[in-house]
Amino acid sequence: MATVGEQTPIVSNHTRDKATKAKVTLENYYSNLVSQHEERENRYRLLEQSMATDGLSEEQKLERRQQHATKETEFLRLKRSRLGVEDFEPIKAIGRGAFGEVRLVQKKDTGHVYAMKILRKADMVEKDQIAHVRAERDILVEADHQWVVKMYYSFQDQQNLYLIMEFLPGGDMMTLLMKKDTLTEEQTQFYISETVLAIDSIHNLGFIHRDIKPDNLLLDAKVGSQLYACMAYLSGIFNILYFEQ
């Protein structure tokens, strides 16, 4: 508390903004820790339920638990591993955006295929989009359901931020509309319904999406004559908490 005669310190907007971002970062960090613990508990609970339904012997249950523990340990090891762009083999560019591009890549040690989103740091700083990109990364990490594309790794170097995400081979809704020209009433109802469910799931996670358009709706693989869609938002995602501050 300032005494008589003392001036109250003036805090600049820049300092306030940095403090708010730091607070949001810490809250997201501890929220993620809680979520990860709950997810582990849920996976173990589902394992026990599955074994009870399958009627396994105690010896078989023990073996399943050991296998589960090994997978959880490997998962944690992968999360802690320090990756770099050199760990991935580029295949081709599959998209471009305001801050960089998206490439189809293959992880060298496993052969798994991912979508690598490359964001130029200088452009994000210049356009004051750092908090928005962080919010996008946070939701990709927090979300674990059919409506949001999964993110497996993230890392950075001096020039770029890299997000290693699930690759959905069906393209996006804009490409589908350009190819089909006109959708049937049944197809339209299907995609609109999935979009509404996707937006609702984003809101339930505490995020808002301010750039909903066909380009940002990704589709999974084609099944028969109909595309079964997983609507996955890759841009325009913002943390409600950040704006409330």
Q: Taking a C-beta distance cutoff of 8 angstroms, is the pair 115, 102 a contact?
A: yes
pTM, to two decimals = 0.57
Unique residue bearing structure tokens 């078989």: 60
125, pLDDT greater than 70: no
Is 123 assigned a catalytic role? no
Q: Spell out the domains of the chain, with CATH numbers in brackets.
A: 13-80 (no CATH), 85-165 (3.30.200.20), 173-244 (1.10.510.10)
Q: Is 79 annotated as a binding residue?
A: no
Q: In one letter, which amino acid is 238? A: F
Q: Of the residues 54, 211, 215, 220, which is catalytic?
A: 211
pLDDT, tens digit (0-9, with 9 covering 90-100), for 37-84 = 887 888 888 888 888 888 888 898 898 899 888 878 877 776 666 789
Q: Quote the CA–CA distance of 104 and 88 in Å, as a whole number.
A: 10
pLDDT, tens digit (0-9, with 9 covering 90-100), for 152-209 = 888 888 888 888 888 888 888 888 899 988 999 998 998 888 888 888 877 877 777 7
Q: Taking a C-beta distance cutoff of 8 angstroms, is the pair 238, 132 a contact?
A: yes
